[in-house]
Structure 1
Amino acid sequence: MLITETPRLLLREFSLDDVGALAEILGNPKVMEFSTNGPCTEDDTRQFIDWCLDSYRDHGFGQWAIIDRLSGAVIGFCGLSHVELDGAQEIEIGYRLAPSAWGQGLASEAAGAALEYGFSHCGIETIIAIIATRHVVSAGVAEKVGFRIDTRTQYRGWDVCIYRKRHTVTTGAA
């Protein structure tokens, strides 16, 4: 199911047909350098997609496939998921892209679309990004779409910055 689109991307729900394409991306050590799980096998990727399918059913959102509009190829994922952080339940944005998609502003484009969907269609009030303190590229993506550092903490043994964005409603001038 199509979730949202941007000028260059489609965000849609994953299906098990995406395992091969996504496994190629998530199996790349460069892509997964800042993931607490490390590179994924094809079986890990199948479990990830199963988790996404459960999240769509249970919460109405999850991590979505990023599709390049021109080629139709899966180039990564971006979306929203439940996470426990320091004893609190939060909604987190996550994103991973194939190296061929790096440096083109596609992560920001996908993240902006996922945020808008979460705020406007899912009624989410606040979304966080959990970013390793050394991951300056991901921090740049988060800041570009309006996140600001909220706190620093440990997450799964990593030193991380917690970025937060709250839903803001704008009204027109009277």
Structure 2
Amino acid sequence: MKSKRLSYHRPCKDDFQEYFAINADPQTNLHNPHGPMTIATAHEVFHNILLHWNISNYGIWMVRELNRPEIIGFGGLSNKLYQDKQQTNLGYRLGPKFWGKGYATELAKTSIAYGFDQLKKKDIYALVRPSNTASIHVLEKCNFKLVDYFSDFQNEDPSLIYRIDASTRR
């Protein structure tokens, strides 16, 4: 699948090292109370990404710039538990050298279109830390609305739950 500047691919086991490198980078975890991913956690999460694809036939994509071999990040839609309810979740993480180019917004808009047009989802959610103003800006540019808060980390401000539904996406 492609958008204006990016290509999206189902990840495979060979993509693990790039996945780990991006998720172990302290810069990509500035707003993550857990901090950078350990190799053990990365193996578990990446396994679950591949498993999600096998079960649902969609999931988090491996993302590249068009016509370039380097992986710039991972993102897309997956199922996520929100306060005991399974929801379709938008998530992404890009390598720092690809920040500030509008790629997160392009990835988010592609994911939204895919979710509503191909998967026929009624709504899509996103969970973001309140200090992550760049991701909040991406969500708001894509017409997500703040709908709730989620106390997912002890002694931390609650995460923000954003939502977009098919009828108000544009």
- TM-score, L = length of structure 1: 0.88
SS in 2 for 1:45: helix
Match of 2:162 in 1: 163
Change in 2 beyond 3 A, CA 1:169/1:129? closer
Counterpart mapping for 1:65-104 below 5 A: 65-104=62-101
Distance in 2 of aligned mates of 1:121 and 1:129: 19
Q: What CA deviation, in whole Å up to 9, does each residue of 1:22-44 have, x standing for no partner? A: 21111101102223543123443
* Structure 1 spans left out of the alignment, 5+ residues: none
Change in 2 beyond 3 A, CA 1:121/1:156? farther
Task: Say which structure is richer in helix.
Answer: 2
Match of 1:30 in 2: 27
**Equivalent AA in structure 2 for residue 60 of structure 1:** N
Distance in 2 of aligned mates of 1:76 and 1:42: 17
Matched, 1:153 2:150: yes
Aligned length: 167
Q: What CA deviation, in whole Å up to 9, does each residue of 1:81-132 have, x standing for no partner? A: 2122222221111010000000000000011111111111112111111111
Change in 2 beyond 3 A, CA 1:55/1:150? same
Distance in 1 of aligned mates of 2:22 and 2:127: 20
Counterpart mapping for 1:40-79 below 5 A: 40-79=37-76
* Structure 2 spans left out of the alignment, 5+ residues: none
Counterpart mapping for 1:1-40 below 5 A: 4-40=1-37
Distance in 2 of aligned mates of 1:59 and 1:36: 29
SS in 1 for 2:26: coil
For residue 135 of structure 1, the aligned residue among 122, 132, 137 is 132
Change in 2 beyond 3 A, CA 1:80/1:37? farther
SS in 1 for 2:143: coil
Instruction: Report deviation, 1:15.
Output: 0.6
- TM-score, L = length of structure 2: 0.90
Q: Which moved more, 1:39-48 or 1:111-120?
A: 39-48
Q: CA RMSD in A?
A: 1.8
Task: Say which structure is richer in strand.
Answer: 1
Q: Which moved more, 1:51-60 or 1:161-170?
A: 161-170
Change in 2 beyond 3 A, CA 1:141/1:24? same
